[in-house]
Structure 1
Amino acid sequence: MANVKNSKILINGATGYVGAHCVKQALLDGYKVRAAVRSVKNEQKLKPLKDLAHASERLEFVEADLLKPDTWESAVIGCDYVFHVASPLPLNWGDETIIETAVKGTLNVLTACADCPTIKKVVITGAGASVSWGNDSTKTFNEEDWADLNVSPAYVKSKVLAERQAWSFVENFSAGKNNFALTVLLPCFILGPTLTNEEASSVTTIKRLLTHDVPGVPKIQFPIIDVRDVGKANLLAITNRSSDGQRILLSSKSLWFREMAKVVENEFHKFGYCVPTREIPYPILYIYSFFDGQVKEFLPLVGHEQKLDNSKAKQILEMDFIQPEKSLIDMGHSLISRGIVPAKRDYKPAIDQTRL
């Protein structure tokens, strides 16, 4: 069990969609937090974190770059735990350049942790797609499964190869090194309110629904997890030793894209937002894929159910998941509140944003 009062967590990717929620949850739980960022001078990115409750008392910043190994020694020193959240997530999942960054970045962070005697555990944020992509869609997937790299887009490859690098690293600790514990969390399609103005993949997806930037939605089903639950899972992983050495899928339930669009439409139509809810036929998606790399990468998912076993998260971490419908509604309100989606004249905030 972690001694919260005297424990410090290094969180990289702290200004991102997931990282910011990890920082918020850690501060609320009483931990000291060191946020690793590319630049401590970028006030625009740092301000949302500085505005969090308890930030003035227990939050500090340090500069570190995934591809600069010498920056991580000073970043981890004096910390007890590390949340490795940072990983490139382009809109175009076919961008091969991200693989090197993900793999080398993970190795650089772990190497620094192995040289730091105070680090007790590292929690890595992987991806649910690492277990299922390219495999038999009729199967219910669990943590024993791995994506088929022969047909996976670059983003999935980057997550799989980085995770395998991590497991190989801890299985082959050199003599005299700090043998910290490792847990890899595998969140699926992440939804929920954003604390920053960063447009992560899912943020852009829901933004496009609210701004009607797309004519319709593909017939694709996503296993969903709330971003607040991802932050919560990181904290639970360091207080629960039974999660040591485990891969843990994070998914509440699956929804078809059309079902998600209808939830957004039902909540925001009264405020003047017109959300597309009709499904785009496969032939049209196929043609569109020649002009949009993201559409091309997701074509193999069209029409297939996504079934994942989340029992390990419930049993080991004792997770009680936020339902996707709430995630979508809270997310939409946060996008409007932050100005990522323009507020309509009829819009009236229905939710206290400070409680998201």
Structure 2
Amino acid sequence: MPELVLVTGGSGYIAGWCVAELLRRGYHVRTTVRSPEREKSVTEAVSTAVDPAGRLSFAVADLTADEGWDTALKGVDHVLHVASPLGATSDDPAALIGPARDGALRVLRAATAAGVRRVVMTSAANAASPSSYATEGVTDETLWTDPEDPTLIPYRRSKTLAERAAWGFMETYDGPTELTTVLPGAVFGPILTSDNLGSVGIVARMLSGEMRGVPRIGLEVVDVRDLVDVHIRAMTSPAAAGQRFLATGEFVWMADMARTLHDGLGEQGSRVSTRQVPDFVVRLVARFRDPSLREITPALGRRNRHSTEKARTLLGWEPRPAREAVLDCAHSLIAHKVVQDSPGRPSTTHPGPGPR
């Protein structure tokens, strides 16, 4: 019998690709959704990549409640715990931290009770980053972000505390279930559906012309397909048990991404602004006009990078170049009509021609 893998949060961007790739590799997949009404949209999204007939099932479970998790884990061999509160901003930090931390513990309790072989949990590279945004250099999985650092945005704190809680739980557990965590960078690449764009929304804003200029922020770009691949390698490799794996990609500045889109897409990239906004302008706008930008200001000019040597050596993982991930992302957004492919007609989100 094919192994059964539970993927949490099947309607999410990364989770949807996990479901599709597991099915493509011959696994049976069960995925959690918050309500039965979401099952159809998940099935339709996955069907654009692979035929799920007879091998995809659903369980209703939410990270914020105990109900449903024991049923979801029944008969499961492995878990990819991908679901997490979305968004890097929140007026109430507890709205991110509580569900992320408590949700991870709910999944682990149910998984260990069910005798699951291994849980692979999606954390984030910024759970293994220096607390000081001014720090440059290269760090690895041995570093833990300080969750008490007052400069941390709620999302970064939530991912750190959730992963710490997961490892803390495993320290008190004495049984066969194993835990592995994967810490991705900025996730781009093609989409399965326009329903949930996740981080891909950045590329959509660039393509539409809504982003009139780009801040001096660097991203370690990883393609969603490569991120799914490292999750499955972490799920199946004996060497991965009890390990953290950074899954970041090539470091690029947002201005480099903009130039890749503008120059690599021809007319389809004509609305992309390649103008880099000075740091002081971003800070002024964040202070007086757009408070939502305040959380990105500490990252301006930061060039801390992460080493993926561990994933490459132990798992044989090889991510694709950032340029390929970004361009494939753009082509997919255009194909799904998230962004108009005719530069002759202005995007509905485009405020005007603007400088480049």
TM-score for the superposition, normalised by structure 1:
0.90
Aligned to 1:152: 152
CA contact (8 A) 2:255 2:275 kept: yes
- Alignment deviations for residues 129-156 of structure 1 (CA, whole Å, 9 cap, x no partner): 1111533522311101122331211001
Taking the TM superposition and a 5 Å limit, the aligned residue runs for 1:1-356 are 5-42=1-38, 43-92=40-89, 95-96=92-93, 97-117=95-115, 119-132=116-129, 134-135=131-132, 137-149=135-147, 150=149, 151-173=151-173, 178-271=175-268, 273-290=270-287, 291-344=289-342
- In the other structure, the counterpart of 1:350 is none
Output the CA distance in 2 between the equivalents of 1:127 and 1:321.
16
Contact 1:85 / 1:124 at 8 angstroms: preserved in 2? yes
Q: Determine the C-alpha separation between the residues in 1 that align with 2:176 and 2:197.
A: 33
Verify the 8 A CA contact 1:218 1:302 in the aligned structure 2. Answer: yes
- Give the deviation of 1:181 after TM superposition: 0.6
Q: How many residues align?
A: 339
CA distance in 2, matches of 1:256, 1:165: 32
Which residue of structure 2 aligns with residue 352 of structure 1?
A: none
> What amino acid is aligned across from residue 208 of structure 1 in structure 2?
R
Q: Is the 8 A contact 2:10 2:42 kept in 1?
A: no
Matched residue of 1:48: which SS? Answer: helix
- Counterpart code for 1:168: G
Q: Displaced runs of 4+ in structure 1, greater than 3 A?
A: 198-201, 291-294
Instruction: Report the 3-state secondary structure (helix = DSSP H, G, I; strand = E; otherwise coil) of the residue aligned with 2:54.
Output: helix
Q: Distance in 1 between matches of 2:231 and 2:276?
A: 36
Q: CA deviation at 1:39?
A: 1.7
Using structure 2 for the length normalisation, give the TM-score.
Answer: 0.90
Kept after mapping to 2: 8 A contact 1:15/1:46? no
Q: Structure 2 CA distance, aligned partners of 1:292 and 1:180?
A: 46
Superposed CA RMSD in Å reads 1.8
SS of residue matched to 1:262: helix
Deviation at 1:95, TM superposition (A): 4.6
Residues in 2 aligned to 1:332 and 1:71: alpha-carbon distance in whole angstroms: 37
Are the equivalent residues in 1 in contact too, given 2:2–2:26 (CA < 8 A)?
no
Counterparts of 1:345 and 1:275 in 2: how far apart (Å)?
11
- The sequence identity of aligned pairs, in percent, is 31
Gaps of 5+ in 2: 346-356
C-alpha separation between the residues in 2 aligned to 1:198 and 1:306? 32
Match of 1:351 in 2: none
Please state how far the C-alpha of 1:233 moved relative to its aligned partner.
0.9
For 1:133 and 1:343, locate their aligned partners in 2 and report how far apart those are by CA, in whole Å: 40
8 Å CA contact retained: 1:15, 1:49: no
Instruction: Return the offset for 1:99.
Output: 0.7
Q: Tell me by how many angstroms 1:253 deviates.
A: 1.3
Q: Which residue of 1 aligns with 2:351?
A: none
- Whether contact under 8 Å (1:221, 1:254) holds in the other structure is yes
